[in-house]
Chain A
Amino acid sequence: MKLRTRRFIGSSAIVSPPLLWTLVFLFTPYLILFTYSFYLTKFPMFVPAFQFGNYVLIFTDPQYFQVLLRTVKIASIVSVSALLLAYPLTYFLVFKVQRPGLRAALYMAVIVPLWVSYLLRAYTWKTILGSEGVLNSFLVWSGILSEPTDIFLYNQFSMVLTLTYIYVPFMVMPLYTALEKIPRSVVEASKDLGVGPLRTFFKITLPLSMPGVIAGTTFTFCLTFGDFVAAFLVGGPNGFMIANIVQAQFGTALNWPLGAALSIVMLMIVLTVISLADRLERAGRLDLA
């Protein structure tokens, strides 16, 4: 057998299983979803058709686009809060913790929660924030409140809190990588040239860590945007996310075409965010080595 043929067979053998997997379990479902988004609903049947009624409904019925806007809002607030929490922490880990062992241990402490079931982590906040929860018990015990309050749970506040807690590690990881890549000598050079620590941070460290900021924000935004479990556990009526509506369309509401159209809209939003981030990252891509 010729070498070229053998190489072709070899590389095909390597690439075929994953390719087949993605084709069957990723692209095919998307294709089906996309087709369904144009169907008509004649309860309890779905009639094959090619019409944009489902999409029009999403953008005209406030019930849908307001939830969409709220989801974007919550995802944005969560991304910004996660960034504001994670950046100082990661900066401290990378630049201020001298002992490598301690640094690794603290980094792991941030990552370890990812190994605990998502459901459990979200549920924890229910026990903390609920009217019988840890926070209320403490406030009543310390005399700040005379009786438990229910303002902590089942609203957008509890949503943002829970989602920020859950997705902070996804912000820390890329930030850590980005900050660790910055050569210490570059930061030292700035100070050597008469520039104080604060300006050095804004002129050197922050610009050089932008790839991490972009990646972390994108992760957090996209993951939050598609989340429905947190809303289910701590969201309440005002904390409903777009993914909850999608779930309902495929469940109790039994309107698959609308659910499919909503999914496609979500997919488009996420893809837009990712490609924007990619373009930003490309524009600022630097050779740090």
Chain B
Amino acid sequence: MPDIIQLHSLTKTFGNDIVAVDKIDLTVGEGEFVTLLGPSGCGKTTTLRMIAGFEIPTRGRIYLSGDDVTELPPYQRHVNTVFQDYALFPHMNVSENVGYGLRVGGVPKGEIVTMVTDMLNMVGLIDKASHRPNQLSGGEKQRVALARALVRKPKVLLLDEPLSALDAKLRGAMQVELKHLHKKLGITFLYVTHDQTEAMVMSDRIVVMDRGRIAQLGTPTELYDHPATPYVANFLGSSNMIASRVVEVWPDGVRLRFGVCEIVCGANGQRFTEGERVTVSIRPEKVAVVDDRGSAPDGFNVIEGVVRDCLFHGNSYRIEVDIGQDKPFIVDVQLRTGADRAVMPEPGSAVAMTIDPANVNAFAAGADR
């Protein structure tokens, strides 16, 4: 898989002291779907805008298919952007919008008509070809923006939070549609979002960004199952984060203690020392609630506590268990077929929870730098 985007210690500062992007190195392979994920202000949009050519990097280089494009203006780069606010031309109708980049690019008229028609067919807007942007719904505008960017057959499609203005249901449908489109066209997609679900659903790889830097880079399952830092663990999905202390270390694992509880987990390549302060992260859905600790599988961790509350979420229950920490321990229980709602524990009752050591992650204190 040849590299299509290469970022070499890319840096962007605004004014004298605001570092938006801080020495980012990233390589994206041809045909990949890569997502830059992070909260607002983490530098993901600035990174995208530098690749598009709207912002000039303070330091570092950008390569597209091996060519240095750092100094090239946006209209000379083989990338196209889908903007967050769609940025449709209000004085042109749908087909004029889609054909705009072709008309000015000197493509013969007949060819433009065919290409625009094909593109509008693909996004399902052929019957709205003569509508003005202000006559379209949000989802339709989104499709026009997509068609307009794709009609130029870019090497890379840059998408800047393209679904953030849509309602939840439409957003879900568009996520699937974008994913299929990506597969069908084989174009590299670089996607920016703050929505972790969106990132996990669509991406081949996710770049989690934090204050201008890459916190972690990997496939959605890698990031979800083995977050490198508490920040990543918290940003993708939710986690029970518990401050603990290392009580025993062996080559590939550690025993940790918090309050009266002790649990065992793998070291995941980290080196711990006895007595060290660490943060433990456990996903709420990777915990099983059992009646008594005797029924736990061999080698599993067991934590005991008292049920504080039990919240019905439709397809699941969220159980808050008091384990003697400041915050309650959260357990999500999916209601599978045939599961009886009545077996949910009453508030005040004592429960035991079992956790596979493979599903416990321990981070050295200060892992978020």
Contacts and interface: CB of A to CB of B under 8 A. Distances in A.
A101 to B, nearest CB: 13
12 contacts: A188-B81, A188-B83, A190-B89, A191-B53, A192-B54, A192-B75, A193-B100, A194-B152, A195-B101, A203-B100, A207-B91, A208-B90
Contacts of B91: 207-208, 284, 286
Contacts of A204: 89
B74 interface: yes
Interface string A170-204: 00000000000001011011111111110110011
A194 B104 contact: yes
B205 interface: no
B104 A191 contact: no
A287 B101 CA distance: 22
Query: Taking each of B53, B90, B105, which has the highest tally of chain A beta carbons within 10 Å of its own beta carbon?
Result: B90
A189 B152 contact: no
Interface in A231-289: 284, 286-288
Interface string B73-100: 1111001110111011111000000001
B40 interface: no
Interface in B85-131: 85, 87-91, 100-101, 104-105
B148 interface: yes
Contact of A189 (B83, B104, B105): B83
Given A193-B148, A195-B75, A199-B104, A286 B134 contact: yes
B144 to A, nearest CB: 11
**Which 9 pairs across A and B sit closest by C-beta, in order of nearness?**
A193-B101, A185-B87, A287-B134, A189-B87, A286-B90, A191-B74, A195-B104, A191-B75, A192-B81
A7 B89 CA distance: 44
Nearest to A289: B134
B207 interface: no
A191 B74 CA distance: 6
A186 B75 contact: no
A186 to B, nearest CB: 5
Interface of B: 52-54, 73-76, 79-81, 83-85, 87-91, 100-101, 104-105, 133-134, 148-149, 152
B192 to A, nearest CB: 14
B81 A194 contact: no
A13 B148 CA distance: 55
Contacts of A199: 104
Given A192-B75, A193-B152, A196-B75, A288 B101 contact: no
Which one of A192, A204, A207, A286 has the greatest number of beta carbons of chain B within 10 Å? A192
Contacts of A287: 90, 133-134
A188 B91 CA distance: 16
Nearest to B100: A193
Contact of A193 (B80, B85, B90): B80
A195 B103 CA distance: 10
Given A188-B87, A194-B104, 12 more contacts: A183-B85, A188-B74, A191-B73, A192-B54, A192-B75, A193-B100, A193-B152, A194-B105, A195-B101, A195-B105, A203-B104, A286-B134
Contacts of B101: 193-195
Contacts of B74: 188, 191-192
A191 B88 CA distance: 13
Contacts of B152: 193-194
A207 B90 CA distance: 10
A189 B101 CA distance: 10
Contacts of A284: 91
